[in-house]
Copies of this chain bind each other. A is one copy, B any other.
Amino acid sequence: MSSAIRNRMQLHQQNIQSVLAEVFNHQPISRIEISRNLALNKSTVSALYRDLKEQGYVEELGEGDASNVGGRKPVLLAINRRYGYTMNFDFGYRHLHVMQNSLSGDVLSYRQVDVKGLKIKQILPLIDHELETASAKDNTIHGLLGISFAIHGTVDQNQVTYSPFLDMEHVDLADYYTQNYQVPVLLENEANVSAVYERDFNKENDHLENMVSISIHRGIGAGLIIDQKLHRGAHGEAGEIGRSVSIDGNWDGAPRKVEDYCSEDAIINQIQDEKQASNMTRDDVVRLFNEGDEITKTALDTFVKSVAGIIYNAANNYDPDIVFLNSPLLEVLPELEPRIEEFYAQMAPSIRVPIKLTQNSHHATLLGGCSLVTREALGMEDAKLNFSAQTATI
């Protein structure tokens, strides 16, 4: 109610943002095309564009092709490639993933830093080092625009509220980096940023209103896009589907959670126990599976069925247009995916939601974070923005 547009000034601001969003989403684009897309008069678009150019957000790329029946060539407009950049991090179990992105989401650099076994206070200097390296090489006008962190755990009010494998030791990332770099700093759950990635970086998903991105790593969580918006819930815990318990009339003993049965960790541990092995990794599971090991095949069969069940439950809970699976185990064993589909089809004979695997899950989380923090930097949290994610050199 109070956020609605009510006077000409607010209307003007919104129209400026609409033009910026058009440039963002369809660059390179001409003024006349923006005018047509937004149903705004071309002189109005020209005026609004002038404002944006004065603020440095946009630039002219040169002339496009004229129409084949004659007429002046359009001037192609785009987001200013030298406006600034964001730095995006993903706290993985083994690696800290680091990505530098341009304002429009192009990948400027990506690298992994080994952090296995390190404590959070040992990781902070590594992050600072990455930020300084990026800053040293930079030649943009405004430099660093924002920092995002993908968290394998829950986040509320920009604070980590639950972190299963990295002890945060009361370190306040948001506070530390806003103090030191004077830019927006954003923490977000890894499944949530993956979902944002699917919404913003994938042109095919452009018209979809509701998406569920299920992450199966050491735990299980879902990122929810509802009405094109990330749904975090009241405490940032929406989509914590791994904590669900079975409702089957049997309440003897403590109820066990979904992720106790079919997270990647649970599967590896199960195989490990049955084979009386230790320190097994995902690669060992792949090797055993390819060798035709029966215990592994049985365990992965259960995994397949459980994932199908999780998808079925998610479809009943959220009724999305599409479900994404974000699982390193499935990335290395893609032959399991058709069997998940098959089993899911058996469970849901009528309406079935399409299932897709997210490729390169680390890129997805970094780019999702990039989208969120870029929006914050631009003050365009709720606009529809399509990012490009081309690997570009400025």
Once the chains are docked, how many angstroms separate the CA of A149 from the CA of B227? Answer: 24
Q: Please give, as numbers and ranges, the residues of chain B lying within 8 Å of A317 by CB-CB distance.
A: 238-241, 244, 317-318
Task: Tell me which of A74-82, A172-180, A245-253 binds B.
Answer: A245-253
Q: Which residue of B lies closest to A315 (CB)?
A: B237
Q: Please give, as numbers and ranges, the residues of chain B lying within 8 Å of A238 by CB-CB distance.
A: 210, 317-319
- Which bucket holds chain A's interface residue count? 35 or more
> How many copies are assembled?
2
A226 near B: Cβ within 8 Å? yes
Task: Tell me which of A3-11, A128-136, A140-148 binds B.
Answer: A3-11
Task: Tell me which of A86-94, A281-289, A306-314, A357-365 binds B.
Answer: A306-314
Beta-carbon contacts under 8 Å, A1-23 to B: 1-2, 4-8, 11, 14-15, 18, 21
A232 near B: Cβ within 8 Å? yes
Nearest Cβ on chain B to A209's Cβ, whole angstroms: 7
Q: A247-B261, A261-B248, A261-B249 are in contact. Are A235 and B316 (CB under 8 A)?
A: no
A347 near B: Cβ within 8 Å? yes
Q: Please give, as numbers and ranges, the residues of chain B lying within 8 Å of A320 by CB-CB distance.
A: 233-234
A305 near B: Cβ within 8 Å? yes
14 A/B residue pairs, CB under 8 Å, sorted by A: A1-B21, A4-B14, A5-B5, A11-B11, A209-B234, A227-B227, A227-B229, A234-B353, A238-B318, A245-B309, A245-B347, A248-B261, A251-B306, A255-B309
